[in-house]
Structure 1
């Protein structure tokens, strides 16, 4: 395998502008220069045109002087800043100058510079991949009988490129879901978690993930794609022409090496489509994990604030914030001995209904003692505790309880607005939040659709949404 050193192609100082204190300015100017070439036949534009564009850019920016550390040059006005940036991009290997026959200086971008800027633009725009388009292109290419005259040039090469782009897109989606899962563990309020959930649903849940599971379902084409790839391998005449095309395009002189390399590439495509279900399964699991984490985290923050556990958590969080904000603060500063004893840790060696103590399993054999008649609880008390537990379960914001609540709402209606629900207390608002959260899950018996209207009722403010029964 031939390993190509990137810095045999680009300058050693190529990335220097992107690590300087003016890296944001450099990125803006690089993209501006690239956009100037869109109406040209090549990556070459008169220097005066480029300088005018850069000068206009600096006119709209801060008027502060730019001080370049490498040579202590100070650029005060927009014209000087434009010249300084252009000169340093040239010295770093991003562009070069060319003098035409009429002695006009043109600014030319290197080919690798254009490739780099295109990557920057894709990252900044964060455009969603059209999975259906890629798969249909692969499928259509393999079905084009006329293209089999030159199978590698017209078919295999394009299929390899599109398949690699498809798999990279799926891996990006997988990674983006993980990013949202990691964000849930950060220190966020319940409101921020709910807001993140809606952003997730807008950016991933309702777009990329939804399309993969519905219209962009690769399984519709997978069998045909794999079958046609095997036909290429098994047809001696087609595969022979493909080998010759591979040797010419990829500049491989040894025929045996070319044949082995081409076969590995085709088999890797087949393997990628066979393993598609594994990637989707992992994406499904992460999507379910994110929704579960969001619901559990929001539920914890909304319901565990007034009980003993919630109060202790708030005290500990407050102490942690105080210590993080002041390194010189000591836990024992200006605290009485009586207060310190409250936080002493001690072993718990007794057992009652609320005990955390775990009874050890004895390995010794002994005769069981007769139980006292006073142990246990009466049937009346048992029934009371059972009723209390049932009542507690009824008041939980579980998926089952929320589904039952919504089912009652929609008994004689097709849909209702969230703003029409009771909103007298904090508990009512929490119920609305969980109705919205569970409505995004396919396991629920209803669905929610967000509207653009902001509702303010009894000091509660939220985006209204429609609740309707699943068909």
Structure 2
């Protein structure tokens, strides 16, 4: 369908007119009214415009506009703005049964205004949590295995994965755009504003930082793949999902539903498998290059300052260097009168350090420890391991951690002292033993427990057949 079969031809004319800023801000007032009210009367919208944009409305140059006779006052100008938005297709006005004019927004108008608002209000954009949301919905669905919940989670995960890739591409192109803007800047303050006030808020804090910490791909990628691969090998679940999709009219046959479900699963798995290589690593490289370019730009602008202050700094630097001092002084002696300046402070007076004669100290010979002592030390260490920290005691310690459960995470373990810390670490060491009654899974992250830091470990009790 052609765009202008949906959108009025002159819709965007207000955005390129002489008073474009006034009209854009008026659209934002309209969007705020839409978010807070179900019905918006024309008079209420006029009052909102006056309250929010009074000075802009008064100072606006409307000489080129066809104002009506009653539209020259403040209220009249606000009524003109409403009439202008209606004429260009941003709003429609309908009179209800109570004889009050109400403003309504077409669907395309809401979407366009929201997009303009998001561009100019960076801090109010949604947090970047697509990875965790995908993991959370898949985990919940995997626990219940109900066809409706699994299918809904799968479809939601596909959408969020697509949004993730879309946002990563947007980040890449956004960094490139900031890099291009950097080339045209000639003021240090403008460069700092671009980097700290805009780039950090829009890119670094909103997307890159969460992607490395809260919404970490390496952290959640493996569980996501495990959930999806377990569904692929579960024929009963796949059949149930295909039947559910077919009965909801998604496709004409169950076979097409089967193919669509597998396609969705493979898409998510393949995307996360190559996400770091194809997107995140490339963006990191781009980000480092931009940061380096920003630093170099600031350094260049600071050192190439052509103002009086900048020239004085350059002269002082040249004078302070022995190789150029004499030549520079000859060049400027007719223009400047330079004097050597010194000062006396309390730190200028001091007592000269007196030399102290030290007596010669002879080396003390330390005899090598006897072989008998080494044997006794090893025996004592083995005895300690076989008693207090024996495998049986470690097994009992882990059983106590389970406390009737089949699984426990290190975040739930109370590591109060050195003994608990040593037992936890020995539990990891003994986990691979055939006689061990449990298995472990170690995450890449770590857990802070008081003054101790231990890996993020999941202890699972073995099921005896």
The answer to whether the 8 Å contact 2:67/2:80 transfers is: no
1:43-442 equivalent positions in 2, closer than 5 A: 44-64=39-59, 66-67=61-62, 75-127=71-123, 130-131=127-128, 133-145=129-141, 146=144, 148-151=146-149, 154-189=152-187, 193=191, 198-199=196-197, 202-203=200-201, 204-205=203-204, 208-243=207-242, 253=252, 260=259, 263-277=262-276, 278-300=278-300
The answer to whether the 8 Å contact 2:134/2:160 transfers is: yes
The answer to whether the 8 Å contact 2:246/2:252 transfers is: yes
Tell me, in whole angstroms, the C-alpha distance in 1 between the residues paired with 2:83 and 2:305.
60
The answer to whether the 8 Å contact 2:41/2:102 transfers is: yes
Deviation at 1:150? 1.6
Tell me, in whole angstroms, the C-alpha distance in 1 between the residues paired with 2:134 and 2:235.
22
Deviation at 1:139? 0.9
The answer to whether the 8 Å contact 2:135/2:223 transfers is: yes
Deviation at 1:285? 0.8
Tell me, in whole angstroms, the C-alpha distance in 1 between the residues paired with 2:14 and 2:245.
39
Cα offsets for 1:74-104 (capped at 9, x unmatched): 8422222222222232233322223323222
The answer to whether the 8 Å contact 2:131/2:216 transfers is: no
Change (3 A) 1:113 1:65: closer
Q: CA RMSD in A?
A: 3.8
The answer to whether the 8 Å contact 1:58/1:82 transfers is: no
Deviation at 1:32? 0.8
Tell me, in whole angstroms, the C-alpha distance in 2 between the residues paired with 1:276 and 1:130.
19
Change (3 A) 1:19 1:229: farther
TM-score normalised by L of structure 1: 0.54
Gap runs ≥5 in structure 2: 315-322, 324-465
Cα offsets for 1:170-201 (capped at 9, x unmatched): 23332332233223323525665566555578
What secondary structure, in the 3-state scheme, does the structure 1 residue paired with 2:99 have? coil
Cα offsets for 1:396-445 (capped at 9, x unmatched): xxxxxxxxxxxxxxxxxxxxxxxxxxxxxxxxxxxxxxxxxxxxxxxxxx
Deviation at 1:276? 1.5
Aligned residue pairs total 304
Cα offsets for 1:301-334 (capped at 9, x unmatched): 556799xxxx9xx9xxxxxxxxxxxxxxxxxxxx
Which residue of the partner structure matches residue 5 of structure 2? 8
Gap runs ≥5 in structure 1: 315-387, 389-471
Deviation at 1:143? 1.6
The answer to whether the 8 Å contact 1:64/1:76 transfers is: no
Which residue of the partner structure matches residue 399 of structure 1? none
Change (3 A) 1:11 1:160: farther
The answer to whether the 8 Å contact 2:147/2:241 transfers is: no
Of 3, 8, 21 in structure 2, the residue corresponding to residue 24 of structure 1 is: 21
What secondary structure, in the 3-state scheme, does the structure 2 residue paired with 1:90 have? helix
Cα offsets for 1:329-372 (capped at 9, x unmatched): xxxxxxxxxxxxxxxxxxxxxxxxxxxxxxxxxxxxxxxxxxxx
Change (3 A) 1:86 1:157: farther
Tell me, in whole angstroms, the C-alpha distance in 2 between the residues paired with 1:190 and 1:89.
41
Which residue of the partner structure matches residue 383 of structure 1? none
Which residue of the partner structure matches residue 318 of structure 2? none
Cα offsets for 1:114-139 (capped at 9, x unmatched): 222222222221136533x3322211
Tell me, in whole angstroms, the C-alpha distance in 1 between the residues paired with 2:106 and 2:78.
20
Deviation at 1:163? 1.9
Tell me, in whole angstroms, the C-alpha distance in 1 between the residues paired with 2:2 and 2:260.
22
TM-score normalised by L of structure 2: 0.55
Tell me, in whole angstroms, the C-alpha distance in 1 between the residues paired with 2:189 and 2:21.
32
What secondary structure, in the 3-state scheme, does the structure 2 residue paired with 1:216 have? coil
The answer to whether the 8 Å contact 1:246/1:252 transfers is: yes
Deviation at 1:153? 5.9
The answer to whether the 8 Å contact 1:147/1:155 transfers is: no
Answer with 1 or 2: which has the greater Rg: 2
The answer to whether the 8 Å contact 1:17/1:23 transfers is: yes
Tell me, in whole angstroms, the C-alpha distance in 2 between the residues paired with 1:173 and 1:239.
36
Change (3 A) 1:121 1:148: farther
The answer to whether the 8 Å contact 2:145/2:237 transfers is: no
Tell me, in whole angstroms, the C-alpha distance in 1 between the residues paired with 2:57 and 2:99.
34
